[in-house]
C-alpha cells in the first residue's frame, strides 16, 4: 500500500451530501418538481403553499418533532400530509408527492473530483457511507463503491454522535483508530469523528468556513478529494 499515511488505515467512512455532490441545487430542483406535481394532483395545496411555504412547513414539523431530527424522510412526508390536510386535498397524495421529491433529490451532479477519487479509494479500502441525509446510493449509481451505508434514518442516531461512527467501524470490521472519516462539515464530520476515536479528513471546498481556533484539528484539510488521494499517497 503506497504512502506512509495509508499504511495505518484499514477502512474509510465517507459523508455524502456536500462531500461528493452539492446538495442544495438538488433539493431546490426537487422542491420545484414536487410543487409541479402538486399543481397537477392536489391543486388546492399547490395554491395555498408555494415552494417557500412548503419549506417553512417542513421546518415547523422539524421544530415540533425534535426527536425526528435524524429522519429527513419522515419530516418531509409529515409536512406533505399536513399541507394536503390543511388544504382539503387527500392526504394520501403525500406518498406520490414524496416519491417525486425523492427521485429528484437523488439526481445529483457529482463534483468533478468525486468519482475518480472514489474509484481510487474504493480500490484500496472498504468504505462505509455515514450520512445524516437520505441519499439513495443505488439510485445515484454509486453503491458499488461502498461496502455499507449507515444512515441516521436507518440507525436512529445521526452525526456527530459517536455511536453512528462506531456502527460503521463495526460493519467495516475495523477499530476506530484504524478508520479515516472524510466529510465537509466541521462540526458533524471532524468533531464527530474525533469524538468517536477516528481520524478525519476535512474536505474544505472553496468558500467553506475556516476551522475554528482552538478546536479539534482534522488529520488533514483538503480542497477536494483528489488532494485527499494525494495526501494518502504521501
Q: Are residues 116 and 179 in the same domain?
A: yes
15 in Cβ contact with 189 (< 8 Å): yes
What's the pLDDT score for residue 213? 57
Report the Cα–Cα distance between both ends of the chain, in Å, rounded. 11
How many structural domains is the chain composed of? 2
**Across the chain, what does the average pLDDT equal?**
93
Q: Are residues 224 and 129 in the same domain?
A: yes
pLDDT at 3 over 80: no
Q: What percent of the chain has pLDDT over 70?
A: 94
Tell me, what CATH number does 142's domain have?
Answer: 3.40.50.1000
What's the pLDDT score for residue 208? 62
**Of 50, 78, 105, which residue sits at a domain end?**
105
Q: What is the pTM of this model?
A: 0.90
Closest Cα partner for 60 from 47, 87, 78, 85?
78
Q: How confident is the model over 50-69, as pLDDT tens digits?
A: 999 999 999 999 999 999 98
Tell me, what CATH number does 93's domain have?
Answer: 1.20.120.1600
Q: Are residues 146 and 200 in the same domain?
A: yes
Q: Are residues 82 and 144 in the same domain?
A: no
Q: Are residues 135 and 173 in the same domain?
A: yes
Stretch 194-209: mean pLDDT, rounded? 88
Q: Are residues 149 and 214 in the same domain?
A: yes
Separation between Cα atoms, residue 62 and residue 64, nearest integer Å: 5
**Enclosing domain of residue 80:** 24-105
Q: How confident is the model over 24-42, as pLDDT tens digits?
A: 999 999 999 999 999 999 9
**Of 52, 86, 105, which residue sits at a domain end?**
105
Residue-wise burial string across 83-109, b where 16 or more C-beta atoms lie within 10 A, e elsewhere: bbeebebebebbeebbebbbebbbebe
116 in Cβ contact with 110 (< 8 Å): no
Q: What percent of the chain has pLDDT over 90?
A: 87
Chain-centre distance of CA 233, in angstroms? 26
Q: Are residues 92 and 176 in the same domain?
A: no
Q: Are residues 81 and 157 in the same domain?
A: no
Q: How confident is the model over 128-185, as pLDDT tens digits?
A: 999 999 999 999 999 999 999 999 999 999 999 999 999 999 999 999 999 999 999 9
**Of 84, 105, 126, which residue sits at a domain end?**
105
What's the pLDDT score for residue 113? 97
Q: Are residues 119 and 65 in the same domain?
A: no
Write down the H helix ranges in the chain. Answer: 4-7, 23-41, 43-48, 51-64, 72-87, 93-105, 114-122, 137-140, 152-155, 162-172, 192-195, 225-233
Q: Are residues 29 and 144 in the same domain?
A: no
Closest Cα partner for 165 from 154, 173, 174, 176?
176
Residue with the bigger pLDDT between 209 and 189: it is: 189
Amino acid at each position: 500500500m503506497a504512502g506512509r499515511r495509508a499504511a495505518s488505515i484499514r477502512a474509510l467512512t465517507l459523508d455524502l451530501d456536500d462531500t461528493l455532490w452539492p446538495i442544495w441545487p438538488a433539493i431546490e430542483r426537487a422542491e420545484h418538481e414536487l410543487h409541479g406535481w402538486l399543481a397537477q394532483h392536489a391543486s388546492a395545496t399547490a395554491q395555498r403553499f408555494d415552494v417557500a411555504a412548503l419549506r417553512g412547513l417542513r421546518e415547523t414539523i422539524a421544530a415540533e418533532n425534535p426527536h425526528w431530527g435524524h429522519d429527513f424522510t419522515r419530516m418531509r412526508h409529515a409536512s406533505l400530509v399536513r399541507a394536503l390536510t390543511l388544504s382539503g386535498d387527500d392526504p394520501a397524495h403525500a406518498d406520490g408527492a414524496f416519491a417525486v421529491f425523492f427521485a429528484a433529490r437523488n439526481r445529483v451532479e457529482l463534483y468533478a473530483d468525486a468519482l475518480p477519487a472514489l474509484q481510487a479509494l474504493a480500490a484500496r479500502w472498504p468504505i462505509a457511507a455515514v450520512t445524516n441525509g437520505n441519499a439513495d446510493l443505488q439510485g445515484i449509481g454509486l453503491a458499488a463503491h461502498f461496502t455499507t451505508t449507515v444512515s441516521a434514518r436507518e440507525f436512529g442516531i445521526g452525526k456527530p454522535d459517536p455511536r453512528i461512527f462506531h456502527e460503521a467501524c463495526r460493519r467495516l470490521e475495523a477499530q476506530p483508530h484504524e478508520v479515516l472519516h472524510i466529510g465537509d462539515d466541521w462540526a458533524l464530520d471532524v468533531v464527530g469523528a474525533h469524538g468517536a476515536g477516528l481520524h478525519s479528513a476535512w474536505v474544505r471546498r472553496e468558500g467553506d468556513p475556516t476551522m475554528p481556533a482552538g478546536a479539534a484539528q482534522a488529520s488533514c484539510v483538503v480542497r477536494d478529494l483528489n488532494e485527499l488521494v494525494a495526501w494518502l499517497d504521501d
